[in-house]
Amino acid sequence: MKTIIFVLAVASSVFAQRPPAQNNRQMLADFRKDEQTNNFKMPAATQRMVLSKVFRRYLTDQDKCRSDFAGSGGDDYLAAARKAGQIVPLIIDMATGSFTAAGQTQTAYVISVSECNASHADNFGTKRIAIFSGQQLVADVDADFMGIIVRKTDLDGNGVDELLMISSDMAQGTITEMATLASFENGRRRVIHDFSTVVEDSCASEAPGSESKASVIYASAFAPGLKPTLTQENYVASCRKPRRWRLLSKGKMQ
């Protein structure tokens, strides 16, 4: 009996000294949650300051767009429109942080370039990210049609922030969102991870078999000197509300 009591006492002491289990990952984004309407607004003076430093020429009114500008019949219509100043750009999102180097106080502006007459097939025009330190433009890069900032991160702890961003499209009642995590160190956009599709929701189509698919993105806990591991879990739910999500797959959504 004394032996049993002694063993239990030792075991209790070991468990008491053992540190509590820690969550080994953090959630970056849960695309199962309904997104709020983007009410982003910016003073007209700030819009003018930013746009005038990013673009040599641009329009402020869609009604002034032309269809017969130089290069409009070429292979790259959007590039020709930008070169001709046939664009009606607008800042649609922004974030503050240290994007091109550690220790900086910078603002990243997401710009919808809105090339004149860009169609749905052209994603209604390109997107750009312009990074400013104060009023100085320090980086101007194509965003590969990513137009919404979901989250600012610094996953590797090097003092340089990354941006998790999405692009969104709707066709025949199906909403599709794509996501990437990118860094802008030294003024260049580098995709850290392409998550591809993170939302595929056909509920608005009201077609038989319609459903909603959405991803949850995780990153491994921070560890000095190590790159974080990114994981993607994909869930599916019927169009009924409240939706009951069940795990569908891991990795990129099929």
pLDDT at 57: 95
pLDDT tops 50 at residue 18: no
| Preceding peptide of 242 cis, ω within 30° | yes
pLDDT at 38: 64
- Domain spans in the chain, listed from the N-terminal domain onward: 23-250
Confidence bin at 249 (pLDDT 50/70/90): very high
98-151 confidence digits (pLDDT tens): 999 999 999 999 999 999 999 888 889 999 999 999 999 999 999 999 999 999
Which two tokens mark 21?
């289990």
pLDDT at 83: 93
Q: What is the mean pLDDT of the chain?
A: 89
Tell me the HSE value of 10 on the side-chain side, using a 13 A CA sphere. Answer: 6
Window from 9-18, 54-63, 220-229, 231-240 with minimum mean pLDDT: 9-18
Return d(Cα 177, Cα 31) in angstroms, integer: 9
pLDDT at 4: 45
pLDDT at 36: 52
pLDDT tops 50 at residue 10: no
pLDDT at 7: 41
70-107 confidence digits (pLDDT tens): 888 888 999 999 999 999 999 999 999 999 999 999 99
pTM above 0.85, yes or no: yes
pLDDT mean over 177-204: 97
% the chain with pLDDT above 90: 74
pLDDT mean over 206-223: 93
- Judge whether 210 and 203 are in contact, CB under 8 Å: yes
pLDDT mean over 246-252: 97
**104 alpha carbon, distance to own chain's centre:** 21
